[in-house]
Amino acid sequence: MVLSSSSTMKRFSGKVAVVTASTQGIGFAIALRLGMEGASVVVSSRKPTNVDNAVQQLADHGITDVLGVPCHVSDAQQRKRLIQSTLDKYGHIDILVSNAAANPTVDPILEIPEPVLDKLWEINVKATVLLVQEAVPHMPRGSSITMISSIAAYQPQATMTMYGVTKTALLGLTKALAAELAPDIRVNTVAPGFVPTHFADFLVRNEDIKKAIEEKTLLGRLGKTSDMASAVAFLASSDASYITGETLVVAGGVPSRL
């Protein structure tokens, strides 16, 4: 990944950042960016080998103040361990990035079985709320929370309608939590456009779909994980100290809202 020169600024020296689902894709890019800018970074995802690999990859980029903790975000004990391990090592949390999501179905809403609805809600929305509950008592004044929603929050697309609805819920959660945590903790959200990752591998597998989506953007390209990381770094930084309760769409101009 190529980092812009602005990423050599150290806006997060002395800050502690916890990023969920951060062993690949957008989450890893966020961890990398925050680490490049001086943060102590806690990386996590479900699989311990992925966590170990991510810690190694960060070290390969010269980022060594890193803690890796396996955490399936919908497991209460694992969420507790993520926060407790962070506190044991660093004592507090300045930046929480809730990035994990699942998109387990292509069914229309009328056909989605209840267990699948439960999984979507559990991972995409409820786990964020519970992680925030766990983390907030350890976040000092001036801290920030950033969630990762999606362009699909504004217009749920066919084949991922209910996923889109859970991402819409995060926009409301952003507003509600921002009000509840003000003025001490800012809460914002990034809504990515289409980024070719494992999660969106249809973009990589099918050249026609990729072209069609590129044409929907004003900027004529798919998003990069580093585009999302830049936006998260901005919202987590003091550059955004007067911004809370907002969602930043990072989608190359794909229509979202006025």
Task: Closer to ligand NAP by CB, 7 or 22: give it.
Answer: 22
Point out the residue whose Cβ comes nearest to ligand NAP: 25
Selected range binding ligand NAP among 16-24, 88-96, 136-144, 177-185, rule: CB under 6 A: 16-24
Using the rule CB under 6 A, give the single segment among 61-69, 131-139, 194-202, 208-216 that binds ligand NAP.
194-202
Quickly tell me which residue has 């000092």 as its tokens.
Answer: 140
- Rule CB under 6 A: is residue 202 a binding residue for ligand NAP? no
Give the active site residues.
163
User: Under DSSP, is residue 159 helix (H, G, I), strand (E, B) or coil?
Assistant: coil
The answer to whether residue 197 forms part of the interface with ligand NAP (CB under 6 A) is: yes
Query: For ligand NAP, what does the binding mask look like between residues 109 and 128, x meaning CB under 6 A?
Result: --------------x-----
- With contact defined as beta carbons under 8 Å apart, do 121 and 109 qualify? no
Per-residue contact track with ligand NAP, 40 to 79, x per CB under 6 A?
-----xxx--x--------------------xxxx-----
Torsions phi, psi for 176 (to 5 deg) = -65, -45
Which own/partner pairs from 113-118 qualify as long-range (CB within 8 Å, at least 24 positions apart)?
117/162
In sequence order, what E strands does the chain have? 16-19, 40-43, 66-68, 95-98, 143-148, 185-192, 247-250
Q: Does 101 bind ligand NAP (CB under 6 A)?
A: yes
Local structure of residue 47 (DSSP, 8 states):
-
